[in-house]
Amino acid sequence: MKECSGARASLGIARLLLLLVAASSPLVGQQLDSAAVLHKVDAAVMARVDGIKGYTATEHYSVFRNKDETHPVAEMTVKTKYERETGKSYQVLSESGSTLMRSLVLQAILDNEKHVNEPGVREGAWITTANYEMQVKPGGIQKMDGRDCVAIALTPRRKEPYLLLGTLWVDARNGEIVRIEGKGSKSSSVFTGETEMMRQYVDINGFGEAMHARAESDSFLFGPTVVTIDYKDYQIQGRTGN
């Protein structure tokens, strides 16, 4: 009898442990609460908006043409400075290659980023439910860039070149943006055509910051063109200072 009682107790403990593991792990048959996920997304974006007074970073831009992604036709490295009160500014550290591509492609990207980050404009570009209809995709938790993520379908609430129709992946734990892929809901120029875009993010000081981006288009003016951006050397100033 004692052996039976001991076996039942051990089985009960094993079942309890299994339940505890299942309850604590987002990977074990968890039904996602869509409303809760979207609330985390909005909260993570606003935490970044409210928490960062400014930052600097180094960005390297490369332009590739005609399906050759080995030899860039133009490159530019810039020092980016963001301030909450004024937005973004750029200092060109180095540049090489086609003057035309640097002028019409890379400078256009910088000008657009500067405009989008101006106070009064940037609010409309935030990846929040105010700017997008968001729908959690089926499939539960999935790995993306080494993190446990939730995939969310994005549909812009209005047509703007800086709003994407595509998919967002966010950290399942805190809603922080991990990756976004899609097409601009509106072309910024009749010459650029439809653009496929991707941006990866990394956690820096508790905030999701861009790490790598890629934009691919096939336009009347430039033909097949790919632009890549690599970001590094972030120095973030919190709201109360560092």
Each residue's pLDDT tens digit, 95-115: 999 999 999 899 999 999 999
Closest CA to 33 of 132, 186, 140: 140
3 state DSSP class of 30: coil
Length reported for the chain: 242
What integer pLDDT is reported at residue 162 of this predicted model? 86
**Low-confidence residues of the chain, pLDDT below 50?**
2, 5, 7, 9-29, 189-191, 241-242
What integer pLDDT is reported at residue 192 of this predicted model? 55
Q: Which two tokens stand for residue 131?
A: 């700017």
| CB-based contacts of 59, cutoff 8 Å, min separation 6 | 77, 78, 80, 229, 230, 231
Q: How far apart are CA 155 and CA 164, in angstroms?
A: 7
What integer pLDDT is reported at residue 32 of this predicted model? 75
What integer pLDDT is reported at residue 194 of this predicted model? 75
3 state DSSP class of 160: coil
Question: Residue 150 burial by CB count (10 A; 0-12/13-18/19+): exposed, middle or buried?
Answer: buried
Measured torsion, CA atoms of residues 42, 85, 201, 28, in degrees rounded to the nearest 10: -20
Question: Distance from CA of residue 185 to its chain's centroid?
Answer: 17
3 state DSSP class of 155: strand
From the CB of residue 235, how many other CB atoms can be counted at a distance below 10 Å?
A: 13
Range list of H helices, the chain = 2-24, 34-51, 99-101, 107-116
Q: How far apart are CA 156 and CA 236, in angstroms?
A: 29
What integer pLDDT is reported at residue 213 of this predicted model? 96
Contact predicate 140/30, CB 8 Å: yes
Contact predicate 162/125, CB 8 Å: yes
What integer pLDDT is reported at residue 28 of this predicted model? 35
